[in-house]
Chains A and B, each alone.
Chain A
């Protein structure tokens, strides 16, 4: 696979604030690249520099091996985190409007069907629900049959069903071998959609790789959860258990789940409410930064 977009030592200052501080990565053609991080981490600023919306303070962005030019505008599809559309215009007219900006376009009927917008073509864009609106914005981003699609927190604010419907749409786009750049708060979303992720904090990338490789690299344990009331305080001192109490629960990090359960049984701890889960990207982020992803 060849690299479609390469970012080298990207820096962005807003006055005294250093929003992005020397970010570098390369995105392979046909993959989904995810930028993760809490609010203020610098991911939207990074993406907007890649999209050509914001100028960078320093550093370079190469699209197909050259600085982005008019070809990039024609070949990129962009869905912003927040977008307003022209008022008093209907869904069908909005798609028509954007399609007329490009020399190469995708058949609108196909887009309308794919994004399930057929029922709403005559509806004023201001009267769409959150999910319908996001599907329209995705359709607009795809109207020029782009080679690379930027999705900036596309499912923020959607209900779980609408979010999963949206993931299905994104997976369909992935099947067409298009390159996707996704920023998100949702670790489940990144895990579901991304081939590679970069976790950002304080304007820097603090970890990068495929979700599974990152988890494998940083974690070789699972989490055992028990109600705190069922675990005596005396067990806190047991050096064989890596455990801590939070929110009425005891969280035990275990490299050997069988051995840990045997140890708990030996201590006559009731295991009725025991839960075991694998480590997640959110755990990884906490481990790396000490902050929650949605902080």
Chain B
């Protein structure tokens, strides 16, 4: 490998990315917008968990006052009982209460309705002793940040390298490079390194900007997080090399890259936790590098875990990167 040739391709690719204003701004703006959107959507002052419609509120029978004093339930006065029943049918209300006539309505298929029913008919205090703890709540936005950053890294890695190499092949850039002494290894290494540092830089910028706008938890070491970020990015860039190894059709590449990225986005825990999902789904998610990167990042950011504690994820990412790189480089064709 000639370092001069590697550096030549690296600097040309960097220039191309930095001058492509639309792609660059999209890489920065999109994740910030997503996080801001979710921050507004999920960070509200109300902590109400249930909605209960109350008909003829003044005439409630004795015995339900205790229920009506419960916190985190939104009690909504109801004037017309028939239209309120329709709202229960449609899950717009979790319960409708008319204790003056001794009746309440819930939807049989509503979990919230079931819980409210238990609360309404709750037994007397048990002999259990209450213990309290204090601590800051983990907001959804705290939990979401590593996922959104990971998703952005995934798209940037897959499309920013895989799609670009396919485009180079289609329009003849690779053919022209093949006619020079540049080796495939030099070319691919430059593509990987170029995208790697750009993603790390852009993600750091997005991280700082989002923290400034929304503010989120970071209990671990920044250096550990950086290492997870670099390793995760590297593994996904290497994955894109497999897709880009031979294809010369952008539409096909687009389809395959979507086929690779969408399952990762849905199953790697970007938007929601997989803890309650079936075991097979949880196991399946472990084949994706994004899962390991997000889990390691969350463990560091939210739980303050050390590199040693997330070393299993790091090891998997290293093995995946090596395998993807080997397959991608060995199957690479200039044309």
Contact = CB atoms under 8 A, between A and B. Distances in A.
B102 interface: no
A289 B126 CA distance: 105
Interface of B: 4-5, 7-9, 11-13, 15-16, 19-20, 168, 171-173, 175-176, 178-182, 335
SS class of chain A's interface: helix, strand, loop or mixed?
Answer: loop
Interface stretch (A3-11, A95-103, A166-174, A229-237): A95-103
A73 B184 CA distance: 14
A97 B12 contact: yes
Interface in A109-148: 140
A53 interface: yes
A51 B180 CA distance: 10
B172 A73 contact: no
A74 to B, nearest CB: 6
A78 B179 contact: yes
Contact of B179 (A53, A84, A86, A97): A53
A80 interface: yes
Nearest to A150: B179
26 contacts: A51-B179, A53-B335, A73-B179, A73-B180, A74-B181, A76-B179, A78-B176, A78-B179, A80-B172, A83-B172, A84-B176, A86-B12, A86-B16, A88-B15, A88-B16, A88-B20, A89-B12, A89-B16, A93-B15, A96-B8, A100-B5, A100-B8, A101-B181, A102-B181, A103-B181, A140-B176
Contacts of B173: 84-86
A98 B181 CA distance: 10
A70 to B, nearest CB: 6
Contact of A101 (B15, B175, B180, B335): B180
A104 to B, nearest CB: 11
Contacts of B20: 87-88
B163 to A, nearest CB: 13
A82 interface: yes
Nearest to A140: B176
Interface of A: 51-53, 70, 73-74, 76, 78, 80, 82-89, 93, 96-98, 100-103, 140
Binding site secondary structure of chain B: helix
Given A97-B9, A101-B8, 15 more contacts: A53-B179, A53-B335, A74-B181, A78-B176, A83-B172, A84-B171, A84-B172, A86-B13, A87-B16, A89-B15, A93-B12, A100-B5, A101-B181, A102-B180, A103-B181
Contacts of A85: 173, 176
Contact of B19 (A73, A88, A102): A88
B16 to A, nearest CB: 5
Contacts of B16: 86-89
Contacts of A93: 12, 15
A72 to B, nearest CB: 10
B176 A100 contact: no
Nearest to A90: B15
Contact of B176 (A76, A80, A88, A102): A80
Nearest to B17: A88
Contacts of A89: 12, 15-16
> B11, B13, B180: which has the most chain A beta carbons within 10 Å?
B180
Nearest to A51: B179
**Which of A76, A88, A102 has most chain B Cβ within 10 Å?**
A88
